[in-house]
């Protein structure tokens, strides 16, 4: 029986399955353990089940001499030093696929909310400012037939593209690709999908949606120069990783009217402080990283995270292992 540390309580029954096989300690607070606390709790652990908010760097891995498996409750794993884990032959797993549709739904919800100025309209009702039907108030942008640019056509990007095709949007993409769009993935007009350069995507799109992983190459990919390429009516949607967007450049672009709006499920930093200047920029919507927040998706993520950890501790390949282990 191995000792495991789980950095947060998870929805669903999956952790009960882990408890029946191993000695499990679960961090029960709403906030994640501080780095020093995580290091102390993990020091004697053989298995870790972590979240994106947990920094598992080379120093922490070195501090855990018994560690054999790390399961990350997320698709991304940029919070884990994969090289350091590989050097110790520690298996690392993630939870892809099960949150694809939920995140794509949230992405499109953000796009529609920003396009139709829903936060402003809702706020007006609560403020008692709904006086009558007004023909020129809260005029938003049309989504049907518009052009959507997807940066990173992976699992979630393709799912967003499928939704966009239902709105007869012209879908442009840069980065990634592959199967999943069937006959719709061909060059043409509205309701079709075309691969273009990032520069062309930014220049042509009415909406730009980010779905690329966070890497050194994509850190602040959307910077001042990228935002200058976008159309003044364009809306930026980010449900990938906060640091893909330079927040200072985004705020400046919104204030200057270089773009029409931004809808963000992820930010830099995260969480965003209540007094962060980005929140006061015009046309911005921020929600607290809820892309996968459906009961079904979160419970399925827990099941897969536990399956990864059980396999890693048994010395067998994880169902979703992110790297080879010697």
Q: CA–CA separation, 273 vs 276, rounded Å?
A: 5
Q: What is the pLDDT of residue 13?
A: 97
Q: What is the pLDDT of residue 184?
A: 44
Burial of 136 per CB tally in 10 Å (0-12, 13-18, 19+)? exposed
Say whether 241 is catalytic: yes
Q: What is the pLDDT of residue 205?
A: 98
- 45-75 as b/e, with b when 16 or more CB fall inside 10 Å? bbbbbbbbbbbbeeebbeebeebbbbbbbbb
- pLDDT, one tens digit per residue, over 61-91 is 999 999 999 999 999 999 999 999 999 999 9
- pLDDT, one tens digit per residue, over 80-121 is 999 999 999 999 999 999 999 999 999 999 999 999 999 999
Q: Where are the domains of the chain?
A: 3-98+295-314, 100-286
Domain 100-286: CATH class, spelled out: alpha beta
Say whether 204 is catalytic: no
Find the distance separating the first CA and the last CA of the chain, reported in whole Å: 23
Q: Which of 303, 259, 320, 306 is nearest to 284 (CA)?
A: 259
When mean pLDDT is compared across 151-165, 180-194, 276-290, the lowest value belongs to: 180-194
- pLDDT, one tens digit per residue, over 159-193 is 999 999 999 999 999 997 544 554 444 444 567 89
Phi, psi of 108 (to 5 degrees): -70, -30
Which listed CATH number (3.40.50.2300, 3.40.50.720, 1.20.1740.10, 3.40.50.620) goes with 3-98+295-314? 3.40.50.720
Choice among 289, 298, 303, 320 that is catalytic: 289
Q: How far is CA 303 from CA 6, 15, 206, 218, 273, in A?
A: 13, 8, 38, 30, 32
- pLDDT, one tens digit per residue, over 194-215 is 999 999 999 999 999 999 999 9
Q: What is the pLDDT of residue 190?
A: 60
Choice among 200, 270, 299, 323 that is catalytic: 270
Choice among 68, 211, 229, 241 that is catalytic: 241
Tokens representing residue 166 in the block: 């239902």
The mean pLDDT of 48-69, rounded to a whole number, is: 97
Say whether 22 is catalytic: no
pLDDT band at 323 (very low <50, low <70, confident <90, very high): confident
Same fold, 3-98+295-314 and 100-286: yes
């Amino acid at each position: 029986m191995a000792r495991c540390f789980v950095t947060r309580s998870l929805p669903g029954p999956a952790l009960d399955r882990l408890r029946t096989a191993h000695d499990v300690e679960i961090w029960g607070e709403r906030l994640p353990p501080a780095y020093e606390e995580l290091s102390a709790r993990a020091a004697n652990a053989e298995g870790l089940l972590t979240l994106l908010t947990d920094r598992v760097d080379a120093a922490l891995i070195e501090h855990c001499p018994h560690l054999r498996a790390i399961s990350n409750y997320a698709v991304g794993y940029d919070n884990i030093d994969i090289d350091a884990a590989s050097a110790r032959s520690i298996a690392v797993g993630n939870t892809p696929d099960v949150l694809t549709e939920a995140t794509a739904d949230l992405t499109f919800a953000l796009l529609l909310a920003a396009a139709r100025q829903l936060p402003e309209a809702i706020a007006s009702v609560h403020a008692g400012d709904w006086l009558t039907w007004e023909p020129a108030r809260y005029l938003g942008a049309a989504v049907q037939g518009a052009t959507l640019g997807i940066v990173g056509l992976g699992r979630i990007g393709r799912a967003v593209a499928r939704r966009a095709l239902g709105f007869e949007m012209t879908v442009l993409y840069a980065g990634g690709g592959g199967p999943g769009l069937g006959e719709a993935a061909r060059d043409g007009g509205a309701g079709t999908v075309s691969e273009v350069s990032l520069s062309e995507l930014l220049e042509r799109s009415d909406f730009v949606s980010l779905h690329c992983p966070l890497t050194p190459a994509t850190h602040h990919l959307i910077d001042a120069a990228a935002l200058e390429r976008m159309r003044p009516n364009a809306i930026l949607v980010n449900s990938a990783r906060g640091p893909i967007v330079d927040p200072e450049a985004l705020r400046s672009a919104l204030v200057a009217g270089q773009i029409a709006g931004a809808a963000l499920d992820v930010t830099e930093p995260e969480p965003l402080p209540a007094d962060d200047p980005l929140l006061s920029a015009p046309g911005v919507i921020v929600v607290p990283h809820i892309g996968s927040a459906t009961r079904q998706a979160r419970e399925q993520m827990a099941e897969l995270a536990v399956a990864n950890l059980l396999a890693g501790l048994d010395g067998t390949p994880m169902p979703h292992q992110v790297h080879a282990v010697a």
